[in-house]
Each structure stands twice: as structure tokens, then as C-alpha cells.
Amino acid sequence: MGHKVSLTLGIESSCDETGIGIYSSSEGLIAHNLFSQVKIHADYGGVVPELASRDHIQRVIPLIKSSLSDAKINLSDITGVAHTAGPGLAGALLVGSAIAKSISWSLGIPSVEVHHMEGHLLAPLLEEDCPEFPFIALLVSGGHTMLVDVKGVGDYTILGESLDDAVGEAFDKTAKILGLGYPGGPALAELAKQCKTIKYKFPRPMTDRPGLDFSFSGLKTYARNTFIKEPQNRSDIAKSFEVAAIQTLMIKCRRALEGSEYSTLVVSGGVSANLYLRDTLDEMCKKINARAFYPRQEFCTDNGAMIAFAGHYRLMSKKINSDHKIVIKPRWSLEDLSAI
């Protein structure tokens, strides 16, 4: 090869999805595959960590093989390996790290530990029409709700986060209260669609005081109390909950944008798949001459493409780990990352 093309293999196994991605420095994303464990955990109403780890072990090598075959390359063509080191479930993370470090050791190539939320944060940059730095990022997943000042890759300042439940978690718990299956977010959104009007005025937690932190556990309680009183109005409760949660996010996004010099909002993580959220944030951005960017639907929730992509950036920066030690960081702050 004349000039060097780098090919980064990305491995995601932090929760209930095994995701593989391959990112080429010359062609961009050239393959990605996902196995979702939703059916495995559905009977339990939530993720069972031990079952998650066991299933990642079963899936990860076949998924790597099919991704290599989709990309029409061999394992030996890979020039670097990225894996999600955290935050996430320890046993699940160990699977990704063990396979990543084994590959890097056996091929004599560098490996890099990727922060799961940095993966989400950078996912919109995989799209053709993509945001430019700096921007405000809203990260909304099952485990996190964060507003982040993003000056560049790795240069993150957390402006606000949830003091209790993450917004995705509040969707999931409210869905459970309403008798919907796991994961509840998409099911609740589907049920809410049946209502055109908003019957109940749920609170907008913490919007009446300054600051950018969130609290969503009260909304779920509000939903429960309403459901006990009027169990026949499930779809109205779903709608009122969704509107309250999303409006709360919108108010804080607007506040963050107006408190900055930025006019770009990046929204990522599982809840960014929500269509009402996208409409609401687009409308708000229009009013203040800003613009919102999202990943494509399939890259909102957990996936390997975003890990390959974030890993590609980190491998290029050379600030990488090449001692092949298995590394997991189940608790890991986004602010501990170094700028590249």
C-alpha cells in the first residue's frame, strides 16, 4: 500500500447489545452489525447482567466475522481495535475488552479504550450532513442524561446531568407502570401517538430554577399516581409523560445554547430516536437560529459503528494503550477524557 489506510475494528458490549463496526480512514464506515438481546431480557422486565455477559460471548466472534466479510477484508487487514471500556456492566464490558485485546495482541496492532458516551456523542458525525465543532451535546440514553459543552473531540465539559433517573430510564419505568414491555421507550412513544391532545399537565422538573441539571424520577411517580386514579387513560398518560419529559429537555437545551456562543445542538443516545423529541428540538432551534443534528435512527441506540468511529479518532491521536492489558471502567466520567 502506498499511503496508509487505517482500518479500525470497533466492539461495543457495554449493556444488552453486541455491536461491531469497521471504520476506514479513506472510505468511512464500511461495515456494521448488531445483535440486540432484547428478547433475552424481556421476560425479566430489564437487563440481567449475567445473561448479558454470556450472550455477548456467544455473539461477538460471529459478528466480527460477518462484518469482515461484509467489508470484504480479512482480520489481518485491521490496523487498530477499539472497544467500549465503560461506563457499563462489568461482565459485559469484559467480553469486549478481552476480545479486543486478544486481537490487538495477536496481530501486533494498537488498541484503544472508548468511552461509551463519547461514542454516542460522535455518532452524528458519521452522517454526510454533519455538525462542526464547537457545539452543545444532549446525550439521552437509558443510563445518562447530560448536556455537554463540546469544543472538540475529547474536550468535554458537563454543563448539567440528571440527579436521579436518566430520561430513558424514566421512559422505561413509566412504560412498565403502564404495562408495556421492555424496553419501554419505543413502546411508550407508540402508545402516546394515539393521542392528539394533552390531557394531563405533568410537571417540568427543575425548569423553574437556574441551572442545567435534570430530575426525572418525579415524572414517573406522577405517571404512577395518575394511572392508579384513572387506569383507563393509558395512552393519555403516555402522551402527557412524553410531552413533559421532552419539553423539559427542550427548555434546558435552549438554556444551554443561549448561555453559549454556539448555534449547533447535537443530540444522541437511545432517546434521540424519539420523533416527538426531534420535532420539538428542531422547532426550538429554528426559533433561536440554531440547528440540531442527530444520528440516523439505527445509530441512536447502542451500536458498534460509533465505537469504531470514536476509536478511529483516538487511534489517530496516538494517545493509545498498546500494552494489551484488559481494561474496563464500569464508572468513567466523560470529563476524564483527554482532548485530541
Residues making contact with ligand KG4 (CB under 6 A)? 15, 141-143, 168-169, 171-172, 183-186, 189, 269-271, 273-274, 301-302
Nearer to ligand KG4, 86 or 143 (CB): 143
Q: Is 302 in the site for Zn ion (CB under 5 A)?
A: yes
Is 293 in contact with 265 (CB distance < 8 Å)?
yes
For residues 208 and 255, what is the distance between their CA atoms, to the nearest angstrom?
12
Residue 333 Cβ vs ligand KG4, minimum distance, rounded to whole Å: 15
Spatial neighbors of 199 by CB under 8 A, at least 6 apart, are: 233, 236, 239, 240
Spatial neighbors of 256 by CB under 8 A, at least 6 apart, are: 136, 138, 147, 149, 159, 160, 212
Nearer to Zn ion, 145 or 280 (CB): 145
Q: Is 104 in the site for Zn ion (CB under 5 A)?
A: no
**Chain centroid offset of residue 134 CA:** 19
Which does residue 183 bind out of Zn ion, ligand KG4, none, counting CB within 5 to 8 angstroms by kind?
A: ligand KG4
> Which residue in 126, 157, 144 sits closest to 303, CA to CA?
126
Largest distance between two CA atoms of the chain = 71
Residue 200 Cβ vs ligand KG4, minimum distance, rounded to whole Å: 18
Nearer to ligand KG4, 55 or 302 (CB): 302
For residues 203 and 228, what is the distance between their CA atoms, to the nearest angstrom?
18
Which does residue 186 bind out of Zn ion, ligand KG4, none, counting CB within 5 to 8 angstroms by kind?
A: ligand KG4
Nearer to ligand KG4, 262 or 299 (CB): 299
Which does residue 21 bind out of Zn ion, ligand KG4, none, counting CB within 5 to 8 angstroms by kind?
A: none
Which does residue 33 bind out of Zn ion, ligand KG4, none, counting CB within 5 to 8 angstroms by kind?
A: none
Interface residue with Zn ion, options 67, 97, 111, 141 (CB under 5 A): 141
Spatial neighbors of 213 by CB under 8 A, at least 6 apart, are: 160, 161, 162, 163, 206
Q: What is the total residue count of the chain?
A: 340
Nearer to ligand KG4, 124 or 269 (CB): 269
Residues that bind Zn ion (CB under 5 A): 141, 302
